[in-house]
Chain A
Amino acid sequence: MERTFDLQWIDYAIMLIYFVFVLGIGWVLKRYMKDANAFLEAGRSMPAWVAGLAFISANLGALEVMGMTGSGAKYGMMTTHFYWIGAIPAMIFLAIFMMPFYYGSKARSVPEYLKLRFDEKTRGLNAILFAVMTILASGISMYALAILMEKVLGWNFNLSLILSAAIVLGYTYLGGLSSAIYNEVLQFFIIVIGLFPIVCLSLYEVGGWHGLLESLAPIATSKGFAPDAFTTTWKYSGAATSNPMGVEWYGVFAGLGFVLSFGYWCTNFLIVQRAMAAESPVAARKTPLIGALPKMFIPFLIIVPGIVALVLMNNPTSGFSITDPTTGQPNYDLTIIMLLKHYLPSGVLGLGLTALLASFMSGMAGNVSAFNTVWTYDIYQSYIRPATNDAEADSKHYLKVGRLATIFGVVVSIAAAYLAGLFGNIMDFLQTIFSMINAPLFAVIALGMFWKRTTGHAAFIGLLAGFAIALLHHGLTAPMGASTLVKGGWISIVHVYPVEMAQNFWTAIFACFTSASLAIGLSLVTKQKKTDEELVGLVYSLTPRVNMNEGKWINRPSTLAWLVAIIGIILTILFW
């Protein structure tokens, strides 16, 4: 099969212009980076719409785009569970209930909130786990993109890896978090506009949405599902065997909709940092909501073309294939790039490839800018060189450390990318393990915010125990047909899940409940070391209500939250 693209000068020109702009933004911002606060927290100066688009763009990394288009081809519209039930409720909750405390506490990071609310050891545990996880994630996505570029475009693996990392380093080193955020906004538009031609052309080819439904019916029935199984979301979730995803509604609802999504959206500093950089408490509250508006429609940009790819794959005359020549198996990660190749002529093709590069860069810059903040404030300032009395000299010093951490983060990411190439399975395993820290973290932070009795010891033990239970559950269960121990069952197999996703859902559910119940129990028997005065601004019941409903109703966060909720419900019903 012909795999290489026929790129013309215009495609390269578009990529080059994009690189110039990305670095140019960093260059322009360089002169504003006078202290650590400007570099690591963007001086808390971002308008809500900028922070909101950056919020969603940091989440729209290359792995997300590749993975979700692939999931569209594999599971159909059920993939939207990751965007609707698996994101919207959590984003509204973060905006309305949690953001006032993250922002109002003056904490500079999520680990620092843990320090203020609980104690040093809870912060330390979270900071170190977060730092390792972030770098790992950044390395894995770098590897995934570079290998794709090598396979499909024939670009040199080392060159594309180093070059893309160097550009990300360039603009984050120059302009810090501001540069990462501004570029994320730019990248958001590039991703949307660059991938939009595929949406139009793919739907046009299959005859619109109705044509798509008709083409999918025989494919679904041949796989043993109802004819509309690939274009509905909840309809066939009564039994795991009757839908392509292999999950039941309660697993999706509790595992994805509650534990995993609240764990991810409400505690992941990479995400929360964008809202913390907003210019005011109201803007910080609006940030996740503004992000939620495009989030709800991203499925039409990346999942729907994936579903069309499923039709194309089953039509031998289309010439479309994602089969890996070495294994003979479909490689769903290839879906998006093969769609680009299938539909786009030179010109928009360069734009589409730029969109993929942009998604990679927004994800990586997000990781790097979150890493350098946690490293500088929560590890370096806490354990290596505490602040002195000279605030001005300190700020200069931590700016330098933040810059060095940026270089360090990128270099270690590159190393992690090469490790991912050498020990792919182990890296997958580590990523699965680290993804398990979010669910217990949500349990602990939510308890801390809404129950003033929660103590530091309880939080720490709760986190550790949640993590241990997650490991134990992963070690004792396996998805059906798992051939390697990294998928689970490395202690002994006591339960087999039909699919890996169900295993992940239940791992998170067990971890979250263990954490929550232990933290509640231990809080009742340990002594609260923080006084009520210390907890003002950190705990719901002790914080004076700020009137968030000033001004015209149209500008209020609550209005926006209702709007998001209503659109989410309408979409869910339309694609039920």
Chain B
Amino acid sequence: MLDIRIPIGLLFAIFGVLILAFGIATNSYPDMYVKSMQININLWSGIFMTIFGAFMLVWGKLAKKEE
């Protein structure tokens, strides 16, 4: 049946890249990160989610190979 790691990996890879790009694009906006105490939280979340998404995809692919 479906290996849920693949859709999870895909979704977080998309989220990660999207939010990471948004974080880079808005990095210089003065008001954008007042709420988060000048931490570019989009950048950090984006990086983390991209890694997590890639990890799930790789793990899913490896598991498939083993079968």
The chain A residues found within 8 Å of chain B, CB to CB, are 10, 13-14, 17-18, 21, 24-25, 28-29, 32, 45, 50, 178, 182, 185-186, 189, 193, 196-197, 200-201, 204-205, 342-348, 351
A346 contacts which chain B residues (CB < 8 A)? Answer: 22, 32
Q: How far is the CB of A115 from chain B (nearest CB, A)?
A: 30
B14: Cβ under 8 A from any A Cβ: yes
Please indicate the chain B residues that have their CB under 8 angstroms from the CB of A45 in the complex: 1
Cβ contact within 8 Å between B22 and A347 = yes
Q: Please, how many residues of chain B have a CB less than 8 angstroms from a CB on the other chain?
A: 29
The answer on a CB contact under 8 Å between A351 and B15 is yes
Q: Mark B2-37, 1 if CB is under 8 A from A, else 0.
A: 101001101110110011001100100000110111
- A205 and B37: CB pair below 8 A? yes
Residues on B with C-beta less than 8 A from A18 are 11
Contact for A201 among B10, B32, B41, CB less than 8 A:
B41
- B residues engaging A (CB < 8 A)? 1-2, 4, 7-8, 10-12, 14-15, 18-19, 22-23, 26, 32-33, 35-37, 39, 41-42, 44-46, 48-49, 52
Q: Name A's interface SS.
A: helix
* A546 vs B7: C-alpha distance when bound (angstroms): 36
Is the Cβ of B49 less than 8 Å from the Cβ of A193? yes
Closest 9 CB pairs of A and B: A347-B42, A182-B4, A347-B22, A21-B11, A347-B19, A348-B45, A197-B41, A185-B4, A348-B41
Interface SS of chain B: helix
A200 to B35, CA, bound (A): 13
**A344 contacts B12, CB within 8 Å?**
no
Within the complex, the shortest CB–CB distance from A281 to chain B, in Å, comes to 20
CA distance A518 to B40 in the complex (A): 62
Tell me the bound Cα distance from A346 to B48 in angstroms.
17
Q: Do residues B1 and A29 form an inter-chain contact, with CB atoms below 8 A? A: yes
Measured between beta carbons, the chain B residues less than 8 angstroms from A342 are 35
Write the nearest CB–CB distance from B4 to chain A, whole angstroms: 5
Q: How far is the CA of A62 from the CA of B28 in the complex (A)?
A: 35
- State A415–B66 Cα separation when bound (angstroms): 48
B2 in contact with A14 (CB, 8 Å): no
- Minimum C-beta distance from B18 to chain A (A): 7
Instruction: State the Cβ distance, A311 to closest chain B Cβ, in Å.
Output: 15
Contacts of B23 in A (CB 8 A): 347
Q: A29 and B36: CB pair below 8 A?
A: no
The CB with the most chain B CB atoms within 10 A, among A45, A50, A193, A342, is that of A193
Q: How far is B9's CA from A189's CA once the two chains are assembled, in angstroms?
A: 10
Residues B1 and A17 in contact, CB atoms below 8 Å apart: no
Q: 26 A-B residue contacts at CB 8 Å?
A: A13-B18, A14-B18, A14-B19, A18-B11, A24-B7, A25-B2, A25-B4, A25-B7, A28-B2, A32-B1, A186-B7, A189-B8, A189-B52, A193-B45, A193-B52, A197-B44, A201-B36, A204-B37, A342-B35, A343-B35, A344-B36, A344-B41, A347-B19, A348-B19, A348-B42, A351-B15
